[in-house]
Amino acid sequence: MEILDGRALSSEIKARCKEDVAKLKERGITPGLAVILVGDDPASHTYVAMKEKSCKEVGIYSIVHKMPEDISQDKILETIEMMNQNPNIDGILLQLPLPEHINTQKLLSAIDPQKDVDGFHPTNVGKLVLGLDAFAPCTPLGVMELLKKYDIDPKGKDVCVVGASNIVGKPMMNLLLNANATVDICHIYTKDLAAHTRDADMVIVGVGKIGLITADMVKDGAIVIDIGINKTEDGKIVGDVAYEEVSKKCSYITPVPGGVGPMTIAMLMQNTVKSAKRRVDA
């Protein structure tokens, strides 16, 4: 069994981004990322702090617009429009989830698709489905990078994706399909989850349920990718996979923490640099 080390690869990618940023700066371009953070969700605050820290490491200018929980949708929209117009901003990230009174899809659709480094705008979603060049969502993109690093080619593999969210499962399915995998996507209404995971060459899970994938649910030698981030009662961070037992059975596995998590942020840096590079040709 080999561990897919997302922490190490993320450092490598961030170092590469740092070099790219230095080159852009020589041409007078400083990549800029604007983050919009609404409300007091502690997990969102933690994630945004980690994103800011990485921007600093890489040399990306970042600005965080912190807004209260009861902010109006129009006020957020105004901020998005301001960032769309700001020539120093290459990436706009609306941290999710948003409070219930906000129409998330409407706001995501207001972001300039060229600055949509999260890949959530319908234009980028559509391009991803068509297999065109687009910003792809950072977490599934990070999984693809991790597979590439370890020479794991999804082509022809039976891959079972567990979780069908817009942020993770659906884009994961499209990236895998574009890489010629046979994709099976399961969700909360799937009748018999184990019947799907047991046959898969690769199981990718991201639903936020501790211990969901057990050893009896994966075949010998399977590749197991854990996107879940959960806190146990005693404050430990764990994924959705019963790591101890599953790791004994599979060929490759991602740890939590230190697997997919750090890759998400590395991909955000990479997407922001990619967006800034467009300024060179403009």
Could you say which residues in the range 131-170 bind ligand GUN, by CB under 6 A? Answer: 138-139, 167
Residue choice 10, 62, 79, 95 for contact with ligand GUN (CB under 6 A)? 95
Contacts of residues 209-212 at CB distance under 8 Å and 24 or more positions apart, as own/partner, are 209/240, 210/238, 210/240, 211/240, 211/241, 211/242, 212/162, 212/240, 212/241
Question: Over the Cα atoms of the chain, what is R_g?
Answer: 19
- Find the binding residues for ligand GUN in span 63-82 (CB under 6 A): none
At CB < 8 A and 24+ separation, what contacts does 172-175 make? 172/139, 172/140, 172/143, 172/204, 172/206, 174/128, 174/129, 175/128, 175/136, 175/140, 175/141, 175/143, 175/144
Identify the DSSP state of 49. H
118 binds ligand GUN (CB under 6 A): yes
Give the binding range for ligand GUN (CB under 6 A) out of 74-82, 90-98, 191-199, 236-244.
Answer: 90-98
Is residue 96 near ligand GUN by the rule CB under 6 A? yes
| Interface mask toward ligand GUN for 4-43; x: CB under 6 A | ----------------------------------------
Closest separation in Å from C-beta 137 to ligand GUN: 6
Which helix (H) or strand (E) segment is 194 a member of?
helix 193-197
118 is catalytic: yes
Whether the bond between 97 and the residue before it is cis, its omega within 30 degrees of 0, is yes
CB of 139 to ligand GUN, least distance (A): 5
Contact of 271 with 16, CB cutoff 8 Å: no
* Per annotation, catalytic residue among 51, 115, 249, 274: 51
Question: Is 95 marked active-site?
Answer: yes
Task: Say whether residue 94 binds ligand GUN (CB under 6 A).
Answer: yes
Q: Which is nearer to ligand GUN, 24 or 32 (CB)?
A: 32
Binding site for ligand GUN (CB under 6 A): 93-96, 118, 138-139, 167, 264
Active site residues: 51, 95, 118
